[in-house]
Structure 1
Protein backbone atom coordinates (compact mmCIF):
# COMPACT_ATOMS: atom_id res chain seq x y z
CA UNK A 1 0.00 0.00 0.00
CA UNK A 2 1.25 3.48 -0.77
CA UNK A 3 1.10 6.55 1.39
CA UNK A 4 -1.14 9.45 0.50
CA UNK A 5 -0.19 11.77 -2.34
CA UNK A 6 0.56 14.59 0.06
CA UNK A 7 2.86 12.59 2.36
CA UNK A 8 5.73 14.88 3.27
CA UNK A 9 8.81 14.41 5.41
CA UNK A 10 9.68 16.97 8.08
CA UNK A 11 11.92 18.86 5.61
CA UNK A 12 9.07 19.18 3.12
CA UNK A 13 10.21 16.49 0.70
CA UNK A 14 8.07 13.53 -0.33
CA UNK A 15 8.21 10.39 1.81
CA UNK A 16 9.18 6.96 0.58
CA UNK A 17 6.15 5.40 -1.09
CA UNK A 18 4.60 8.71 -2.20
CA UNK A 19 3.71 9.22 -5.84
CA UNK A 20 5.21 12.30 -7.51
CA UNK A 21 5.27 13.65 -11.05
CA UNK A 22 8.74 13.75 -12.61
CA UNK A 23 8.32 16.90 -14.68
CA UNK A 24 11.43 16.12 -16.75
CA UNK A 25 10.17 12.73 -17.93
CA UNK A 26 6.47 13.50 -17.67
CA UNK A 27 5.86 10.32 -15.69
CA UNK A 28 4.47 9.48 -12.29
CA UNK A 29 7.01 7.78 -10.08
CA UNK A 30 6.91 6.21 -6.65
CA UNK A 31 9.58 7.55 -4.31
CA UNK A 32 11.83 4.64 -3.31
CA UNK A 33 14.69 6.60 -1.80
CA UNK A 34 17.00 9.53 -2.07
CA UNK A 35 20.47 9.85 -3.54
CA UNK A 36 22.04 13.18 -2.59
CA UNK A 37 19.73 15.92 -3.85
CA UNK A 38 17.99 13.52 -6.23
CA UNK A 39 14.99 11.34 -5.53
CA UNK A 40 15.06 7.68 -6.58
CA UNK A 41 11.83 6.95 -8.44
CA UNK A 42 10.25 3.85 -9.93
CA UNK A 43 7.10 3.39 -11.98
CA UNK A 44 4.20 2.39 -9.70
CA UNK A 45 4.03 -1.06 -11.33
CA UNK A 46 7.76 -1.55 -10.76
CA UNK A 47 10.70 -1.72 -13.05
CA UNK A 48 13.95 0.13 -13.34
CA UNK A 49 14.56 3.00 -10.94
CA UNK A 50 15.79 6.41 -12.03
CA UNK A 51 17.10 9.57 -10.39
CA UNK A 52 15.22 12.83 -10.60
CA UNK A 53 16.32 16.18 -9.14
CA UNK A 54 14.14 16.97 -6.13
CA UNK A 55 13.29 20.37 -7.61
CA UNK A 56 11.92 18.69 -10.78
CA UNK A 57 9.07 16.85 -9.03
CA UNK A 58 5.64 18.01 -8.02
CA UNK A 59 2.70 16.48 -6.21
CA UNK A 60 0.49 14.33 -8.39
CA UNK A 61 -3.06 15.39 -9.08
CA UNK A 62 -5.91 13.19 -7.90
CA UNK A 63 -6.35 12.02 -11.49
CA UNK A 64 -2.64 11.12 -11.85
CA UNK A 65 -2.71 9.28 -8.53
CA UNK A 66 -5.75 7.27 -9.58
CA UNK A 67 -4.15 6.42 -12.94
CA UNK A 68 -0.96 5.25 -11.23
CA UNK A 69 -2.89 3.06 -8.77
CA UNK A 70 -4.97 1.64 -11.63
CA UNK A 71 -1.80 0.82 -13.61
CA UNK A 72 -0.41 -0.96 -10.55
CA UNK A 73 -3.63 -2.95 -10.04
CA UNK A 74 -3.71 -3.93 -13.71
CA UNK A 75 -0.07 -5.01 -13.64
CA UNK A 76 -0.70 -7.10 -10.52
CA UNK A 77 -3.66 -8.80 -12.16
CA UNK A 78 -1.47 -9.74 -15.13
CA UNK A 79 1.42 -10.81 -12.89
CA UNK A 80 3.62 -8.11 -14.41
CA UNK A 81 4.68 -6.30 -11.24
CA UNK A 82 8.47 -6.00 -11.05
CA UNK A 83 9.66 -5.06 -7.59
Structure 2
Protein backbone atom coordinates (compact mmCIF):
# COMPACT_ATOMS: atom_id res chain seq x y z
CA UNK A 1 0.00 0.00 0.00
CA UNK A 2 1.41 3.36 -0.95
CA UNK A 3 1.55 5.66 2.05
CA UNK A 4 1.73 9.39 2.63
CA UNK A 5 4.54 10.81 4.71
CA UNK A 6 2.48 10.37 7.90
CA UNK A 7 1.92 6.64 7.28
CA UNK A 8 -1.71 6.95 6.11
CA UNK A 9 -2.61 5.34 2.78
CA UNK A 10 -2.10 7.65 -0.19
CA UNK A 11 -4.96 9.18 -2.15
CA UNK A 12 -5.94 6.71 -4.87
CA UNK A 13 -4.88 3.61 -2.92
CA UNK A 14 -7.39 0.76 -2.65
CA UNK A 15 -7.75 -0.59 0.88
CA UNK A 16 -9.91 -2.84 3.04
CA UNK A 17 -11.63 -1.18 6.00
CA UNK A 18 -11.59 -4.02 8.53
CA UNK A 19 -13.93 -2.20 10.93
CA UNK A 20 -16.71 -2.11 8.30
CA UNK A 21 -15.56 -5.04 6.16
CA UNK A 22 -15.67 -2.83 3.05
CA UNK A 23 -13.26 -2.10 0.22
CA UNK A 24 -12.73 1.50 -0.80
CA UNK A 25 -10.49 3.91 -2.66
CA UNK A 26 -8.78 6.62 -0.61
CA UNK A 27 -10.23 9.99 -1.57
CA UNK A 28 -8.56 12.16 1.04
CA UNK A 29 -7.65 12.74 4.65
CA UNK A 30 -9.57 14.85 7.17
CA UNK A 31 -8.14 15.19 10.63
CA UNK A 32 -7.29 11.75 11.94
CA UNK A 33 -9.57 9.96 9.44
CA UNK A 34 -9.15 8.66 5.91
CA UNK A 35 -12.04 9.23 3.53
CA UNK A 36 -12.95 6.20 1.44
CA UNK A 37 -15.36 5.75 -1.44
CA UNK A 38 -16.69 2.44 -2.77
CA UNK A 39 -14.95 1.37 -5.97
CA UNK A 40 -18.22 1.47 -7.91
CA UNK A 41 -18.94 4.98 -6.64
CA UNK A 42 -21.25 6.17 -3.94
CA UNK A 43 -21.03 7.96 -0.64
CA UNK A 44 -17.70 8.38 1.08
CA UNK A 45 -17.16 7.22 4.62
CA UNK A 46 -14.58 8.09 7.24
CA UNK A 47 -12.26 5.31 8.35
CA UNK A 48 -9.72 5.02 11.12
CA UNK A 49 -6.32 4.46 9.44
CA UNK A 50 -5.56 1.83 12.11
CA UNK A 51 -8.34 -0.32 10.62
CA UNK A 52 -7.12 -0.17 7.02
CA UNK A 53 -5.01 -2.76 5.29
CA UNK A 54 -3.79 -3.09 1.72
CA UNK A 55 -5.57 -5.55 -0.53
CA UNK A 56 -3.81 -8.70 -1.67
CA UNK A 57 -3.42 -8.94 -5.45
CA UNK A 58 -6.29 -11.48 -5.55
CA UNK A 59 -8.55 -9.21 -3.47
CA UNK A 60 -7.76 -6.22 -5.68
CA UNK A 61 -8.55 -8.20 -8.84
CA UNK A 62 -11.81 -9.45 -7.32
CA UNK A 63 -12.81 -5.93 -6.25
CA UNK A 64 -12.04 -4.49 -9.70
CA UNK A 65 -14.06 -7.23 -11.43
CA UNK A 66 -16.98 -6.55 -9.08
CA UNK A 67 -16.71 -2.83 -9.90
CA UNK A 68 -16.75 -3.55 -13.64
CA UNK A 69 -19.77 -5.84 -13.24
CA UNK A 70 -21.62 -3.14 -11.29
CA UNK A 71 -20.86 -0.57 -13.99
CA UNK A 72 -22.09 -2.88 -16.75
CA UNK A 73 -25.39 -3.51 -14.93
CA UNK A 74 -26.00 0.23 -14.49
CA UNK A 75 -25.89 0.88 -18.24
CA UNK A 76 -28.59 -1.59 -19.26
Whether the TM-score (by the shorter chain) exceeds 0.5 is yes
The unaligned stretches of length 5 or more in structure 1 are 1-5
Aligned Cα root-mean-square deviation (Å): 1.5
Gaps of 5+ in 2: none
Number of equivalences: 75
Write the distance in 1 (CA, Å) between the matches of 2:12 and 2:74.
21
Q: Equivalent residue of 1:33, what SS?
A: strand
Distance 1:63 1:20 in 2: 13
The one of 37, 41, 45 aligned to 1:46: 41
Secondary structure at the aligned position of 2:28 is classed as strand
Corresponding position: 1:64 with 2:63: no
Aligned structure 1 segments of 4 or more residues deviating by more than 4 angstroms: none
Tell me which structure has the larger Cα radius of gyration.
2
Deviation string for 1:33-74 (max 9, x for gaps)?
111111001110011110011111111111211111112211
Measure, in 1, the Cα distance between the counterparts of 2:7 and 2:57: 20
